[in-house]
Structure 1
């Protein structure tokens, strides 16, 4: 049995467990001739891996494997991308099997990458709780894209922030949503497809809810009461469920 919630697909493994699958792609970010955002390829690998990890961890699953599809030559681009992938996995504390493919036939002029992470989770541990009228909706971090990601390190969400949210607000959190290219509003619109919720947004929001958040630089947290903890980065109350 297969079903999808937000950007994660669940496969029924047995009576008590599911496989959880998340993927992300990245193009034109690297050091090749036709790239648009010029950064070292290890940065490309690192942040693309981060997106998938955040998707898997946000629903409560544990990563058990990763595939890295590099649409460029093995060396130097492939090796540098892999360094970023390994760095992010290591910093997150995961030593998991890696399946790798690179482009060995064609010369490429633009960096391109696809990553998939597979996780496992017990049915009763999936972090998708019933939402209710009065629940608070927070945006954690400032949406950033391209070069802004490197410039706004002190203002964006990452794996450490995600884990801090899940730990400090454990009894309060109902759902956590990493925000990517669709932006905060796009993620909430997508959530509505699965949850049929109505949201009243705060007037005069100081955060751009329509802007792309790139490699999950923002986390949406839906909670039953107001946040009580300082996470060290900007936290914006953007609305409530009605």
Structure 2
């Protein structure tokens, strides 16, 4: 059995054809409890926390089979609301027949909201979208990097949605997609280049803040065939050319 750590993903080669993909994330200080730094209903904590790990697996080309929520609060009512948010996000992603399991804190009273999320997926080796850039490529971003109060919780049309993401995944001119987390677009572009043995160049004025936190993965970057860039920019909302990948 072969195990690899690539960016925020753990890949476990099960046999000649199948790979298990694991992604995890944590969220703390966001919720409706006394000492939460950012006050929001726990249902959004569950939804956006699930979104992070789901996007990681979806972008990697894996089918989500299990999701665990390690809720560091009581089941009634914080846990129930977080779980409701997770189920809503799974539905938005079109994911069914998934094992949802987890734990809550019932021994002690808590004054801040926290949850750890882990997603497990399976992929045929031929379908993996990890380290799959075919040489030189253009880097684009889709969606606006946002965090905290910048996100419209009732529905934000500027952040990457699942319909757009699935469309990019089906496009043969899109080589690899990477979600953008708290370290920003420039960091993720550097990691994309590193793991594909390429050199990354970021354009000075690309129309988006490449250092800004992407929060709960409100945007993604993608390495695409340079010949397809114009069509992708026209078809996908909130896209920008970030830079390019070149041979070392």
Q: Same fold (TM over 0.5)?
A: yes
Query: What is the TM-score normalised by the length of structure 1?
Result: 0.94
Does structure 1 conserve the Cα–Cα contact (< 8 Å) formed by 2:69 and 2:102?
yes
Name 2:135's counterpart in structure 1.
132
User: What residue is the counterpart of 1:106 in the other structure?
Assistant: 108
Kept after mapping to 1: 8 A contact 2:142/2:236: no
How far did residue 15 of structure 1 move?
A: 1.8
Asked if the contact 2:193–2:200 (Cα under 8 Å) also holds between the matched residues in 1, the reply is no
- CA positional deviation for 1:127: 1.2
Deviation for aligned residue 1:204:
2.1
Corresponding residue of 2:150: 148
Structure 2 gaps of 5+ residues are: none
Q: 2:29: which partner in 1?
A: 28
Q: In 2, are the aligned partners of 1:155 and 1:234 still within 8 Å (CA)?
A: yes
State the alpha-carbon separation in 2 of the partners of residues 58 and 123 from structure 1: 14
8 Å CA contact 2:193, 2:245 repeated in 1: no
TM-score normalised according to structure 2 size? 0.91
Deviation string for 1:187-209 (max 9, x for gaps)?
12223432232122223232110
In 2, the alpha carbon distance for the partners of 1:231 and 1:72 equals 42
Residue aligning to 2:242: 238
The 2-side partners of 1:82 and 1:217 are apart by: 21
Q: What residue is the counterpart of 1:52 in the other structure?
A: 53
Cα distance in 2, alignment partners of residues 58 and 202 from structure 1: 24
**2:99 corresponds to:** 97
Q: 120-129 or 226-235: which moved more?
A: 226-235
Count of residue pairs brought into register by the alignment: 239
Equivalent residue of 2:141, what SS?
Answer: strand
Unaligned 5+ runs, structure 1: none
CA distance, structure 1, for counterparts of residue 32 and residue 17 of structure 2:
45
Determine the C-alpha separation between the residues in 1 that align with 2:50 and 2:24: 9
